[in-house]
């Protein structure tokens, strides 16, 4: 049996995987801050891995819609745990802070970092945002969120 993602009837979804890889190589699908980069320039930057700040269990897609809050605004849980694993905490923090802008508008990033108890780290945030953009399963996410509100 061939390995790979399968549809409801067990058929191999080769086109799905190939389309996803093609989308990652299209700068127009990336966040506007990455669109001026060529694919080779983006891959070159992604190869310059920063040192690990702190290794933790990471969500892998720590955007606002995947975070559940109580009525009074306290954290309640996370959903969509398919990319859960260990990584530098900035792999999640970079995306979580970025996501506050797409989902709520500018001005929330520092509050999230303050609440987490960490100072901004522009180098790691830039790196992990680029890495997320290059590997995102949903590269159109930036555009959809930005125009949603």
- Pick the catalytic residue: 61, 88, 121, 133? 61
Give the helix ranges, DSSP H, for 25-147. Answer: 39-47, 89-104, 109-116, 122-135, 141-146
Kindly report the number of other CB atoms within 10 A of residue 50's CB atom: 13
Residues in the chain: 149
For residue 138, give the H/E element and its range: none
Distance CA 96, CA 4 (A): 29
The answer to whether 43 touches 134, Cβ cutoff 8 Å, is: yes
The answer to whether 124 touches 26, Cβ cutoff 8 Å, is: no
Give the three-class secondary structure for 18: helix
Q: Is 53 a catalytic residue?
A: no
Give the three-class secondary structure for 85: strand
Catalytic residues: 61
């Amino acid at each position: 049996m061939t390995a790979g993602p399968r549809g409801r009837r067990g058929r191999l979804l080769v086109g799905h995987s190939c389309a996803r890889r093609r989308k990652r190589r299209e700068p127009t699908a990336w966040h506007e801050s990455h669109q001026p980069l060529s694919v080779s320039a983006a891959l070159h930057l992604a190869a310059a891995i920063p040192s690990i700040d702190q290794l933790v269990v990471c969500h892998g897609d720590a955007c606002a819609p995947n975070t559940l809050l109580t009525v009074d605004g306290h954290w309640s849980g996370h959903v969509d745990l398919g990319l859960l694993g260990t990584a530098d905490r900035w792999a999640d923090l970079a995306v979580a802070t970025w996501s506050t802008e797409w989902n709520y508008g500018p001005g929330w990033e520092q509050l999230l970092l303050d609440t987490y108890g960490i100072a901004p780290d522009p180098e790691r945030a830039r790196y992990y945002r680029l890495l997320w953009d290059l590997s995102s399963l949903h590269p159109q996410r930036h555009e959809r969120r930005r125009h949603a509100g």
